[in-house]
Chain A
Amino acid sequence: MEDIAEKGLQVVVGLAVFAAIIGLIMLVVDRAPKTGREKVQIAGFLAPALVLLAVGLVFPALQTSYLSLTDRNGDFVGLDNFVWMFTQPEALVTLRNTVIWVVLVPLLASSIGLAYAVFIDRARGEKALKALVFMPMAISFVGAGVIWRFVYAYKGPEQDQIGLLNQILVWFGQEPKQFLLDAPENTLFLIAVMIWIQTGFAMVVLSAAIKGIPTEIVEAARLDGAGAWQQFTNVTIPTIRGSLIVVVTTITIGTLKVFDIVRTMTAGQYETSVVANEMYTQAFRAGEPGRGAALALILFLMVLPVVVYNARLLRKQKEIR
């Protein structure tokens, strides 16, 4: 109990300090002299976030970028780390896996989420059905790792299976299988976990977007005799396009950054590693910060096209407004 009280006190102090800082900013912003008040106000609102981002993200990222050009002793080695990445077989497997992840997870999670959102829209028990698919989103990656390791659990053919998937194989007269050990399909079984988690996110956001479609448009389409599929392709998709892009982008970025699933389920062994995991392994386990940093930079480059696309879209929306 003492322990809990002490932890509670820490939280209260933390919140109080934060509130004091925000209060101070508001006070300064309001009392600023008339000339230049606008500037002070803008700075007051933006500065806390921007300073944190600069110190905690931009500067460290630059530092890491420099690291990618150095070896384990910190000596400058030019592009050696990148050469390593694109020539060594184990590094190439990592790159290949990452591409598979980034293609499959956003695509499948968004499609299943969208299909599900459409299917259950205004259906009976919609709330409960939504909650079931959203639930995995509430589960930590570590928890999901436990859940799916249990689904994939393997026992020898002569024993009773405790993993559901192997039991299903046995029921169909097949040999039980080491789902997480046999490359290359084991990557797909890890990807399934991520899809299982992300579909709920896609579904919740897209369902909300679908509900935001004005009823008049839907009614008009129906009066014109549009079938369910036509309504879907001609009304639903174009109207929720913005949300769809947000969903796909968010999941893509999440997929690139995810390492918990690979880390806890296989630790990147058996040819399942992805760039985010390999970066951790190289930088924090293998004592190769240069290689880790180089892998981080590659991640950055892989996602750049997505961001550029998104940024252009944003600008276009602004122009329309």
Chain B
Amino acid sequence: MSTVPLDKEPLLPGVDGAPQGRPTMQKRVRQRLTSRTATAAAVIIAVIWTIPTFGLLVSSFRPEDNIKGNGWWNVLTDRQFTLENYADVLSPGGSQSPNLLSYFVNSLAIVIPGTIFTLVLGSMAAYMFAWGRFRGKDGLFIFVFALQIVPLQMALIPLLQLFTQVLKFGDFQLLPSGTYAQLWVAHTIFGLPLAIFLLHNFIAEIPGEVIEAARVDGAGHSTIFWRIIVPLATPALASFGIFQFLWLWNDLLVALVFSGGGADVAPITQRLAEIQGSRGGEWQRLTAGAFVSIIVPLAVFFGLQRYFVRGLLAGGLKG
């Protein structure tokens, strides 16, 4: 609020010169001061928030001996850079190599369908909770909302048993181990409570007249949903989709349980955690590996940012 630019005031002619008295000199000074303090505080926060990542990025381009020998801020005097760390972590060179490219593909293959499934099923349910008419709706909705707090860990072992033992008919496994299917379903389940809750909040804000009008014209729920709700809720879907994408990409626990850990299925976070656990001092690999793992989420964020912010401006994720 305090940074409302002063140069905006001329846009409101007469405000400054309003009869109840011009802003005094003192007030102006104070306003500018708070504005300056605010900007300074913002810059400090931004710097603190950026430096750790920046340090790691710089380090990832330094030769191994330098990373282990002295701090990354020494690049000011010692400008030695190399791409070797990246070549090392990406190349599929034997079992000792981090082989991150393969895990990187796995992450994409897990996250994209996982996000789409959650969005579609979540918005379908959210629509019914917002606009359907049936008994016990509110209670059921609150129950679904409350499911958010069921810790993942509570569900993991029974769910794994379900996938590997119950949903198995002879040799046919509905969700085969060693594929992405189990991860997709698990992620969808765990993402649904929040998806339904947040999308409901947005969808419930859609003016009732629009939906009523469609109903009067004889449109069924599926028509209303795909023709009206989905287009109108696109900002919220995009916003939640981006968050869900990032959350799935961040995940370690679900991957640990359902991926089996090999290069066939396991995501990049799991591999990175492995390297960190077994070779915690190998900073040249950890720094480069960490950056390989955050490229996609950063690209998604920056690429969709305009859309994302527009969605939020329109009231997405609104409580």
Contacts of B276 in A (CB 8 A): 142, 145-146, 149, 264
In the complex, the answer to whether A52 meets B149 with C-beta atoms within 8 Å is no
Contacts of A15 in B (CB 8 A): 113, 116
Known contacts: A228-B2, A264-B273. The answer to whether A307 contacts B252 by CB under 8 A is no
What DSSP secondary structure best describes chain B's contact surface? helix
Contacts of A137 in B (CB 8 A): 246
In the complex, the answer to whether B179 meets A10 with C-beta atoms within 8 Å is yes
Can you list 9 contacts pairing A with B, beta carbon distance less than 8 Å?
A14-B184, A45-B132, A162-B70, A211-B312, A229-B34, A231-B1, A242-B319, A264-B252, A296-B154
Q: What is the total of A-B residue contacts with beta carbons within 8 Å? A: 356
- The answer to the question of A291 belonging to the interface, with a C-beta cut-off of 8 Å to chain B, is no
The stretch of A53-61, A77-85, A183-191 in contact with B is A53-61
In the complex, the answer to whether B41 meets A228 with C-beta atoms within 8 Å is no
Contacts of B117 in A (CB 8 A): 18
Contacts of B155 in A (CB 8 A): 56-57, 60-61, 64
Known contacts: A132-B49, A160-B71, A212-B318. The answer to whether A118 contacts B1 by CB under 8 A is yes
Contacts of A276 in B (CB 8 A): 151, 153
In the complex, the answer to whether A11 meets B113 with C-beta atoms within 8 Å is yes
- The answer to the question of A196 belonging to the interface, with a C-beta cut-off of 8 Å to chain B, is yes
| A binding-site residues for B, Cβ under 8 Å | 3-4, 7-8, 10-11, 14-15, 18, 22, 26, 29-30, 37-39, 41-42, 44-46, 48-50, 52-53, 55-61, 63-64, 112, 115-116, 118-123, 127, 129, 131-143, 145-151, 160-164, 167, 196, 199-201, 204-205, 207-212, 218-219, 223, 227-229, 231-232, 235-236, 241-246, 250, 253, 256-257, 259-260, 263-264, 276, 279-280, 283, 289, 292-293, 296, 299-300, 303-304, 306-307, 310-311, 314-315, 318
In the complex, the answer to whether A127 meets B134 with C-beta atoms within 8 Å is no
The 8 A CB mask of B233-261 against A (1 = contact, 0 = none) is: 00000000001001001111100000000
In the complex, the answer to whether B294 meets A57 with C-beta atoms within 8 Å is no
Given contacts A57-B190, A141-B252, A279-B151, could you give 19 more A-B pairs where the C-beta distance is less than 8 Å? A3-B105, A14-B181, A14-B184, A30-B222, A60-B158, A119-B41, A133-B45, A136-B49, A138-B294, A140-B250, A162-B67, A167-B71, A208-B313, A208-B315, A228-B35, A250-B194, A253-B149, A264-B252, A280-B153
- The answer to the question of B75 belonging to the interface, with a C-beta cut-off of 8 Å to chain A, is no
Contacts of B305 in A (CB 8 A): 127, 131
